[in-house]
Amino acid sequence: MPRITCLAGGVGAARFLQGLHNVVPHRDVTVIINTGDDIELHGLHISPDVDIVTYTLAGIVNEETGWGIKNDTFHCLKALGKLGYESWFNLGDIDLATHISRTRYMDEGLKLSEITNIHAKHFGVEEVLIPMTDDPFATHILIDDGLIHFEEYLVKRDARDMVRGVEFKGAKDSKPASGVIEAITSADGVILCPSNPIVSIGTILSVPGIRQALRDTAAKIAAISPIIGGSPVKGPADKIMSGLGLEVSSLSVAKLYADFLDSFIIEQVDMPQADEINKLGIKVVATKTIMRSLEDKVRLAEDTLRSIDLV
């Protein structure tokens, strides 16, 4: 069976991976996950995207929100809020155990990748999950009030601020976590999930060595556009892209990946951009990229695999 390596952010990526989960053997899939959203709150190390992917593949994610654990409660967070602590970042009571556990392991000297592996096993996830780096890495957004952590921009301030810039703190000194480069170079196919091209995939690409591995790998590389008709399916990709002076379009995303991308999956409505994307040396496949049902997810996974000759 072909081995597939995916680059993933949070909710959009996890939904796509749910489709893939139903199409290919779990053990043949490696997911390299963005850690730019990681944040320390209440003395706990939170890895939002790692947990979203883990919970989703474990089948315990809250499907309505796309993050957190289904039927979780928020009693501790509410009490922390009353005690005067910031409570804008949603931490469920069951979810909290994951963060407490991660923090304990870190205190004991384990790497995030080792902990992610332990948690994936615990939750019964058979896909190989690897955070992009074990080194400190934090995405910050420059707004008029200054530089703030991405989660503060996204959750606390509800992505309302004008984006003036993006900074990947720690990127230059970061190394890919063990297994990341090999997963890209030894894969039969690589898939960039439909995630934010700047703060989810862009962060992964900023870790020294990863972009070069994508250029070097013999594997065909596909990406699913997170943009449909000039708007992101979810999240603030439009605000961040336009804040950086980029056009908010599938073509614009394709340009960001042009040095290594083979095949780009876009929504029918974006077909007028196909010629321009083709000119970048990228094959275009138009399909339905919005994932509402499991069938949507499965079909998108199949279309993506087919575009790089893996089904």
User: Which residues in this chain contact a copy of itself in the complex, by CB under 8 A?
Assistant: 42-44, 72-73, 75-80, 82-85, 92-94, 96-98, 100-101, 103-104, 107, 119, 122
Nearer to a copy of itself by C-beta: 106 or 248? 106
Closest separation in Å from C-beta 54 to a copy of itself? 12
Closest separation in Å from C-beta 76 to a copy of itself? 5
Quote the strand ranges of the chain, DSSP E: 4-8, 29-33, 39-41, 44-46, 128-131, 138-143, 146-149, 165-169, 189-192, 220-224, 227-228, 231-232, 263-267, 283-287
Closest separation in Å from C-beta 61 to a copy of itself? 15
Nearer to a copy of itself by C-beta: 81 or 229? 81
Number of H helices, E strands in the chain: 13, 14
Q: How far is CA 208 from CA 4, 37, 114, 151, 235, in A?
A: 21, 18, 20, 23, 26
Phi, psi of 29 (to 5 degrees): -110, 130
Nearer to a copy of itself by C-beta: 77 or 210? 77
CB 307 within 8 A of CB 283: yes
Measured CA to CA, the distance from residue 51 to residue 94 in angstroms comes to 12
Closest separation in Å from C-beta 45 to a copy of itself? 11
Closest separation in Å from C-beta 143 to a copy of itself? 27
Tell me the sheet residues that pair with 140: 149, 167
End-to-end CA distance of the chain: 10
CB 281 within 8 A of CB 236: no
Report residue 8 as tokens.
């993933």
Nearer to a copy of itself by C-beta: 32 or 91? 91
Closest separation in Å from C-beta 96 to a copy of itself? 5
Nearer to a copy of itself by C-beta: 56 or 139? 56
Nearer to a copy of itself by C-beta: 3 or 119? 119
Q: Is 4 helix (H, G, I), strand (E, B) or coil?
A: strand
